Structure 1
Amino acid sequence: MAVARRSVLRGAAVGAAGVGFTTVGAVPSLAESTPGPERAPYPVHKPFPPLMDDPKGLLALPPGFKYTVVTRAGETKLATGQPTPGAHDGTAVFGTGRNNYLLIQNHEIGSNNALGVPQIEGTVYDTGVGSAGGCTVISVDRDGTNLGEWVGISGTLTNCAGGPTPWGTWLTCEETENKANGTTRLKDHGYVFEVWGDGETAHPVPLKALGRYAHEALAVDKDRRHVYLSEDASGPNGLFYRWTAPAGYKLGPSSWQDLADAGFGTLEAMAILGDDGKPIPDVAYLTSAQLLRPFRVAWVPVPDRDAVTVSCRKQFTDGQVTRGKKFEGVFGTDAGVYVVNSYAEAGTADLSADAIPHDGMVWFYNYQANTIQLVTYFPSNTAADKGPEAKYDDYNFDGPDNVTVTPWGSLILAEDGNASSHVLSSTPGGPTYAIARNMLNDSEFTGPAFSADGKVLFVNMQTPGITFAITGPWQTYLG
């Protein structure tokens, strides 16, 4: 989410299914296809009441809900005395066992910045980038009160989203392909890094096995043998990837050492197969007419995952893989993984004449069946393109970005669209409701993360950089 859709549109206005495939040709016939999964017992969504404006002008919420400001860029302070960095993005929340929570939070900053993540000894990957991207760690109580904040990793660039690990760490993703230039970048960038929250452990080591590209988010599967990763890129559009561990290997707390090897395990790109067994070129060829229909998936090896000379997504022809505009949020469950596409617009080089513009897609990949289903679809909607003047429109949604799953199985989506910016509650295959609206500006929301006990939803307003803890009767509507 390095460039928000609203920024792109505004600028334009001013300016005028089997595992183990090695080749795409080795796809099963329809008779050999894996049966689609049964429709999951998705939770019934109780409608949220209309949002109430905030007299402080920050966050509109439903009646009965309230927020606490946890951090604010430039105002709250790190333990080392520097101000909280800006550009809050992907975030994970962990329980500490003392009725408190620990947040690990990305800062999507691409160059040396006054509100960048300060380089703290032992946490630095690339000294050349100065105070740029990275992660902070925030200790909070059950009411959202800030108990302290410190640096988890520094010297990285454009830390967008990522994903929590089953062993309690955070995998942060660089959304860039910038290589070393000898001055402002002494090392290559575009990697995943593991971040610890204890304030003592830091291994700022790139996990090269997971590839070098414009990473967005990821999820580790329940068996700890796969990692699913999204790519937010265009020219051509990005891909959805799967990393697979070597036979007999399971990911764990010391795996960062093995993942530092670019040849460890295998990295593959997704191909969604049509009824003819051929890859569908782009997810935008599919619409709400295919809602909940399972499609078989093939996984195609990435020839050079470190992208020494050619970007990973450019190593494939259009007939080999399935591309997508802005592969964004990723979140894993025991059964599979959700992945979001923010939008696709007509009249762009990345969308063929046969594809269908849309304002957002959410997919669910089923681990066991090796199929993928479209579970939420926002059709292209001019009402959602009215711009920031439509600040009280709580019914037309566009540009879903980050995603998380609530303790009750429904979805929380953060909007990065063109009109009002919302946090959304969505039932796969069902309705979507606004549960928060940005009243301060038209910045996107980022990093929604529910505490495991279901008491607190943490979410960020990327600009000016605010973390909120939202509490209220969540179970009444989501349980």
Structure 2
Amino acid sequence: MTISRRDVLQLMFLGGGGAALAACGGGSSSSGGGAGGGGETPNTPGDGGGTPTPPPEPPPVARELPLRAGPLSGIGPLVDSGVDGVMIPEGFSLRLVATAGRQPVPGGPLFLWHPLPDGGAVFPMADGGWVYVSNSEFVPGGVGALRFGADGELVDAYPILKNTLINCAGGATPWGTWLSCEEIENGQVHECDPRGTPRQAQAHPAMGRFKHEAAAVDMATASVFMTEDEGDGRLYRFRSAGRVSAINGGEGLDLDNGVLQVLEVEGFENGAYMEDLESAREIRRVNWVDVQSPDEPQSRVRSRIQDGTGQGAPGTRFKGGEGIWIQYWPEGEQDTVSGFEHPLRAVVFFACKGDNRVHALDVDNDLIEVVFDNEQLISAGEDKFDDVDNLVVSPMGDVVVAEDGEAMRLMVMVPNQPAKILLRVPGGGSELTGPAFTPDGSRLYFSSQRAPSGATGILPLGRTYELTVPASFRV
């Protein structure tokens, strides 16, 4: 009989801790004070001794976050889509929407889709349509936008950011703007209006200078979480000082005034790395520490601290931070995190390509856990993942992670269970980038960053696709 750690926790929470541990071959109670294992019978009143009934034992401390899989975890085997050899689940459909070096909308204003499309997001429009924005991980970089009508027809394409360098990923804000991140040593975050012009874009130096990869905003805590694409990178949090009028006219966070911090996992401070996977798979407490010299490139600051003190700079080390996204649960649907104060409201998922791990950060309880890794969470018959990259959470709660390298897959992460493969792009030697869902979850956009492109179809500069998701996988 095989019982997962999550099964154990559920049994213990329901009062069956002893049975669960026995089924797993254990004989002692959990460190969180779970029931069972001792064989002692508590004193009860009415036996003539007057011994009071002891108070009930506290619930066991959770070892994993109570995460749930979304409907895409039920997809079946892949079939040929009929488009560029891309393999997708049966019942889904695929179309090519843009090719680097070509006009996405023939006959429209002269605008060529950018080379090396990378991180992206979808923004709903007032007429029922939407805009998909996409970074260019090129020199120069920038951001392009594809405008779709309510019927899904591509009606316009235009730039929203110019004159930047190697724009890798980024993040959508709750007030409807796009944060585009530069992946260079002195990189900054640039805020763009998906409906606007490049002249409206603004840089926000207070959010730090480092090899920015991706960003995710939590309004409840006035925080922007950011990954860093360095082998000794950190996970950052920018705590805004308040709210201001945004470039699109809405009310957003003040991204020019606040505090820049790095995350430290307890026991792994000052550049330490969580080497032991068994330990990293269980939730651990975290703290946030102010960065030193936030106006300087952080890789240089870390080197200066190391050289001057012989110790690592603040922050736990994360190997090659990549995609990041936040999943929310509304009131009434928030699970209890046993043994901790707050229910599960918001979880930050972020991927690290250096060790092929996906972490889950409980924002309110300050807890972290590795929820995907290559040593145990691979579907039967599938190769290990190579360089996990961009990441997105669907409106239905599916965590989808893109992969670089030779296999080139989009995978559906099933927390603490084998992943499901959503699609596979043939050829290798590229990256799958920019996964982003429409608000209703019916469409997923993504790019093969170095697919054949240009007027001749020879230049390896990228193509962008749209995957249609059947209604049965959106409930």
Provide TM-score, normalisation by structure 1.
Answer: 0.72
Amino acid corresponding to residue 295 of structure 1 in structure 2: R
Q: 2:258 and 2:368 mapped to 1: Cα distance? A: 23
CA drift at 1:314: 3.4
Cross-structure match for 2:437: 450
Q: 1:82 and 1:201 mapped to 2: Cα distance? A: 14
CA displacement 1:274-297 (0-9 Å, x = unmatched): 3xxx52844451315542x21111
CA drift at 1:98: 2.4
Q: 5+ unaligned residues in a row in structure 1: which ranges? A: 1-29, 112-131, 178-188, 345-359, 385-392
Change (3 A) 1:368 1:309: closer
Amino acid corresponding to residue 408 of structure 2 in structure 1: S
CA drift at 1:476: 3.0
- Please, which of 85, 89, 101 is the counterpart of residue 74 of structure 1? 101
CA drift at 1:252: 5.4
Q: 1:224 and 1:325 mapped to 2: Cα distance? A: 26
Cross-structure match for 1:152: 160
Q: 1:449 and 1:153 mapped to 2: Cα distance? A: 19
The answer to whether the 8 Å contact 1:68/1:144 transfers is: no
Q: 1:251 and 1:59 mapped to 2: Cα distance? A: 44
Cross-structure match for 1:100: 129
Cross-structure match for 2:269: 279
Change (3 A) 1:252 1:229: farther
Change (3 A) 1:283 1:252: farther
Q: 2:153 and 2:382 mapped to 1: Cα distance? A: 29
The answer to whether the 8 Å contact 2:97/2:104 transfers is: no
Cross-structure match for 1:416: 404
Amino acid corresponding to residue 128 of structure 2 in structure 1: N
SS at match of 1:133: coil
Change (3 A) 1:310 1:403: closer
The answer to whether the 8 Å contact 1:137/1:197 transfers is: yes
- Please, which of 113, 136, 141 is the counterpart of residue 144 of structure 2? 136
CA drift at 1:108: 0.4
Change (3 A) 1:199 1:440: farther
Change (3 A) 1:315 1:374: farther
Cross-structure match for 1:340: 351
CA displacement 1:336-360 (0-9 Å, x = unmatched): 311111133xxxxxxxxxxxxxxx1
CA drift at 1:84: 1.3
Cross-structure match for 2:89: 62
Cross-structure match for 1:390: none
CA drift at 1:191: 0.2
Q: 2:273 and 2:150 mapped to 1: Cα distance? A: 40
Cross-structure match for 1:311: 300
Q: 1:198 and 1:169 mapped to 2: Cα distance? A: 9
CA drift at 1:40: 2.2
Q: 5+ unaligned residues in a row in structure 2: which ranges? A: 1-31, 33-60, 306-310, 329-345, 452-461
CA drift at 1:222: 3.0
CA displacement 1:54-100 (0-9 Å, x = unmatched): 44434111111111111111122476414211100110101113232
Q: 2:391 and 2:436 mapped to 1: Cα distance? A: 9
The answer to whether the 8 Å contact 2:376/2:418 transfers is: no
Cross-structure match for 2:372: 376
Higher Cα Rg: structure 1 or 2? 2
Q: 2:245 and 2:351 mapped to 1: Cα distance? A: 26
Q: 1:143 and 1:51 mapped to 2: Cα distance? A: 27
The answer to whether the aligner puts 1:88 opposite 2:117 as a matched pair is yes
The answer to whether the 8 Å contact 1:190/1:212 transfers is: yes
Greater alpha carbon shift after TM alignment, 302-311 vs 162-171 = 302-311
CA displacement 1:31-67 (0-9 Å, x = unmatched): xxxx768732413664322111344434111111111
CA drift at 1:371: 1.3
SS at match of 1:449: strand
Cross-structure match for 2:291: 302
The answer to whether the aligner puts 1:366 opposite 2:359 as a matched pair is no
Instruction: After TM superposition, list the pairs within 5 Å mapping 1:225-236 onto structure 2.
Output: 225-234=222-231
Change (3 A) 1:459 1:144: farther
The answer to whether the 8 Å contact 1:150/1:199 transfers is: no
Aligned-residue CA RMSD in angstroms?
A: 3.0
CA drift at 1:427: 1.7
The answer to whether the 8 Å contact 2:159/2:198 transfers is: no
- Please, which of 433, 446, 449 is the counterpart of residue 420 of structure 2? 433
Q: 1:290 and 1:41 mapped to 2: Cα distance? A: 16
Instruction: After TM superposition, list the pairs within 5 Å mapping 1:215-230 onto structure 2.
Output: 215-223=212-220, 225-230=222-227
Q: 1:287 and 1:160 mapped to 2: Cα distance? A: 28
Cross-structure match for 2:389: 401
Q: 2:181 and 2:67 mapped to 1: Cα distance? A: 32
The answer to whether the aligner puts 1:463 opposite 2:474 as a matched pair is no
Q: 2:97 and 2:366 mapped to 1: Cα distance? A: 40
CA drift at 1:304: 1.1
Amino acid corresponding to residue 167 of structure 1 in structure 2: W
Change (3 A) 1:469 1:283: farther
Aligned residues: 378
Provide TM-score, normalisation by structure 2.
Answer: 0.73
Change (3 A) 1:406 1:219: same
Q: 1:84 and 1:442 mapped to 2: Cα distance? A: 21
CA drift at 1:147: 1.2
Amino acid corresponding to residue 285 of structure 1 in structure 2: E
SS at match of 2:303: helix
The answer to whether the aligner puts 1:472 opposite 2:433 as a matched pair is no
Instruction: After TM superposition, list the pairs within 5 Å mapping 1:221-300 onto structure 2.
Output: 221-223=218-220, 225-234=222-231, 237-246=232-241, 249-250=242-243, 253=246, 259-260=255-256, 264-274=257-267, 279=269, 281-288=271-278, 290-291=280-281, 293-300=282-289
